[in-house]
Amino acid sequence: MNIQNQIQLKPFNTLSLDVTASHYIKVQSNEVLVEALNYAKQHALNVLILSGGSNMLLPEQIHALVIHMDIQGIEYLTEDEHSKTIRVGAGQIWHDFVLWTTSQHLYGLQNLALIPGLVGASPVQNIGAYGVEVGEFIESVQVYDRQLEKFSTIFAKDCDFSYRHSIFKDDPNRFVITHVIFKLLKHADLMLNYGDLKQAVGDEQTAENLQKQVIEIRQSKLPDPKEYPNVGSFFKNPIITEQLYDHLALTFSNLPHYPQAKGGVKIAAGWLIDQSGWKGKQLGMVGMFHKQALVLVNYDKATLVDVQATYHAVQHDVYQKFNILLEPEPVLFNESGLIRSHLE
Ligand code: EPU
């Protein structure tokens, strides 16, 4: 086991924040994961699980053991007439895995192409885009349960998947995801209902073309983290009451809105931010991207304090105009490596 000290995490978080971790280990197997967790216990260190770093806000110094998940491997498990199940290591790069499924004629994940991050993080916030959420194609999630101190399997029905949510978000310190088991279709059933996706796909209604169009749409408006460090959508699309929506619609008749099956109305946060004057606007080194106002970008060498100054200002302006408090999507950590609330 190779625990390193004073490690710079800038290359491992897509917002490119300067972050030094007191203790760090890269984990490539279940065995080393258990050794690392035991080490943390013996040395009274908190544990911070690092995956692709594409949904995290980290302070400059972290006193904790950062466990960087790097378990690789893809293996076929079972198949029936309609589907195949595959077990994938948490450390596989998400986008590469999606491309691989398409090349193997396995269908379902094409709408989720080009999402940054690793496979192990995909169930945590139930990543979703263009009308598909990953939970629909997950059979189960293999975890190490830190409370019961054993490996176990959690079936999708017990993961409580919903919009940007799962049990892994509710109880972030309990489970370490080691593998995800996907159930993918042998025959494509294209999901083309989102926005103008159907138009983009046109007559060539194949999974390969759908994947290509999704990649093109994302590239046309979402910044590449290598060029413009970011964490994807910075805020969740808020779900507001029907009464508030009816009230807002009197003034803003073109407000993009999506009535929800379980009640309430989902509103496009990007539109709210755009209308509040923040599209392409910066406060110091941090601003909202000029092609998609929902994405916060670190334009220079910002620290967490700079990032917070900008997103608090965005929240303030949106609240003043629309009476809606936007909730950040990325997870915020404190100097002890623990998750803290955005509301503190
Ligand atoms: N809009 C604006 N101005 C903007 C951005 C958006 O007016 O600057 C309007 C658009 O015109 C559209 C509406 O807002 O009417 C929705 O925009 P879009 O279709 O781009 O999607 P989104 O709601 O901004 C969500 C996800 C994305 C996902 C896309 C496509 C959330 C928080 N974000 O964005 O997810 O790729 O839909 O499904 O749900 C991510 O989570 O990192 C992410 C990129």
pLDDT, one tens digit for every residue, the chain (344 residues): 899 999 999 999 999 999 999 999 999 999 999 999 999 999 999 999 999 999 999 999 999 999 999 999 999 999 999 999 999 999 999 999 999 999 999 999 999 999 999 999 999 999 999 999 999 999 999 999 999 999 999 999 999 999 999 999 988 899 999 999 999 999 999 999 998 899 999 999 999 999 999 999 999 999 999 999 999 999 999 999 999 999 999 999 999 999 998 899 999 999 999 999 999 999 999 999 999 999 999 999 999 999 999 999 999 999 999 999 999 999 999 999 999 998 87
Q: How far, in Å, is the centroid of ligand 1 from the Cα of 177?
A: 28
Distance CA(14)–CA(116), nearest Å, equals 9
Encoded amino acid at 70, one letter:
D
Distance CA(338)–CA(253), nearest Å, equals 42
Ranges of each domain in the chain: 4-70, 74-189, 223-333
Which of 197, 222, 271, when mutated, tests ligand 1's pocket best, judged by the most ligand atoms within 8 Å of its CB?
271
Asked if 299 contacts 228 with a C-beta cutoff of 8 angstroms, the reply is yes
Cβ of residue 264 lying under 6 Å from some atom of ligand 1: no
Which ligand 1 atom lies nearest to the CA of residue 218? Answer: 36
User: What are the strands of the beta sheet with 282-283, ordered from one edge?
Assistant: 230-233, 295-298, 286-288, 282-283
Encoded amino acid at 303, one letter:
T
State residue 171's pLDDT score: 86
Neighbours of 239 (CB within 10 A): 15
Q: Which CATH architecture has domain 223-333?
A: Alpha-Beta Complex (3.90)
Nearest to 337 by CA among 14, 45, 13: 45
Asked if 328 contacts 344 with a C-beta cutoff of 8 angstroms, the reply is no
Angle between helical axes of 94-103 and 207-221 (0-180°, round to 10) = 150
State residue 1's pLDDT score: 86
DSSP structural state of residue 224? P
The residues assigned a catalytic role are 164, 233, 329
Distance CA(136)–CA(161), nearest Å, equals 9
At residue 121, what are phi and psi to the nearest 5 degrees? -90, -10
Distance CA(45)–CA(336), nearest Å, equals 8
4-70 has which CATH code? 3.30.43.10
State residue 344's pLDDT score: 75
State residue 239's pLDDT score: 96
Q: How far, in Å, is the centroid of ligand 1 from the Cα of 206?
A: 24
State residue 145's pLDDT score: 98
> Which residue owns the Cα nearest ligand 1 atom 2?
271
Cβ of residue 237 lying under 6 Å from some atom of ligand 1: yes
Q: How far, in Å, is the centroid of ligand 1 from the Cα of 274?
A: 11
User: Which residues are paired to 46 by β-bridges?
Assistant: none
pTM over 0.85: yes
Cβ of residue 130 lying under 6 Å from some atom of ligand 1: yes
Which of 57, 136, 216, 233, when mutated, tests ligand 1's pocket best, judged by the most ligand atoms within 8 Å of its CB?
233
Fold that domain 74-189 belongs to in CATH: 3.30.465
- 152: which residues sit within 8 A by CB, 6+ positions away? 142, 143, 144, 145
